[in-house]
Amino acid sequence: MNDYIGKYGLLGYLPKNGLEKHVHPDDVEKLQSCWGTIKMCRAIDSDDVYLHLFNGENHFRVTPQLFQVMEAQPKFNFGDMVREKHDLGREGTIHYVCWHYERMKVYYLLKIKGKESNRWNFDEDLQLISEKKL
């Protein structure tokens, strides 16, 4: 399972029956509350059964069968400090990494001065100031 560590992906099909086979029992409720979003997850660790994922807000554990690694990997990671290149030039941290299905590419939502921004920023819209050390 070490091949997954550091990779971003989306959660695949959530089975209606047998969920307990694919999600750690302590994480089922948390996972159901964020299922079906376009937020990407990053595999940050693993054990004998589960991948440990983080989606910018929650940590949860799932079997590798539910995690679909995306071919297009983000340029920026959760917590990286960035500056918007467009006219506003705001600085913030990467709060969410998301997938745009029509454009087939990654975009980011920032946290700026403690507040979540709803402006979509793509790789070309951002400049790295500093990386968050994992």
Q: Is residue 118 part of a domain?
A: yes
For 59-103, how does the pLDDT look when each residue is reduced to its tens digit (9 = 90+)? 999 999 889 999 889 999 999 999 999 877 899 999 999 999 899
In the predicted structure, residue 15 carries a pLDDT above the cut 70: no
Percent of the chain clearing pLDDT 90 (strictly above): 61
Residues 12 and 38 in one domain: yes
Residues 36 and 90 in one domain: no
pTM score: 0.85
DSSP helix/strand/coil, 23: strand
Residue showing tokens 């399972």 = 1
Residues 16 and 45 in one domain: yes
Q: Is residue 87 part of a domain?
A: yes
Residues 58 and 93 in one domain: no
Q: Is residue 42 part of a domain?
A: yes
Angle at CA of residue 44, ends 104 and 128, nearest 5°: 60
Q: Is residue 28 part of a domain?
A: yes
Residues 65 and 86 in one domain: no
- pLDDT score at 88: 77
Residues 61 and 114 in one domain: no
Residues 56 and 8 in one domain: yes
Show the domain range for 94: 81-130
User: What stretches of 1-134 adopt beta strand conformation (E)?
Assistant: 8-11, 41-46, 51-54, 59-62, 67-69, 81-84, 91-100, 105-112, 115-116, 121-122, 126-130
Q: Between the CA atoms of 37, 43, 45 and 132, what dihedral angle is there, to the nearest 10 degrees?
A: -100
Residue at 24: amino acid letter: H
Residue at 43: amino acid letter: A
- Tell which residue, 124, 104, 46, 42, has the closest CA to residue 79: 42
Number of domains making up the chain? 2
Q: Is residue 75 part of a domain?
A: no
pLDDT tier at 16 (50, 70, 90 boundaries)? Answer: low
Q: Compute the distance between CA of residue 94 and CA of residue 76 in angstroms, rounded to an integer.
A: 7
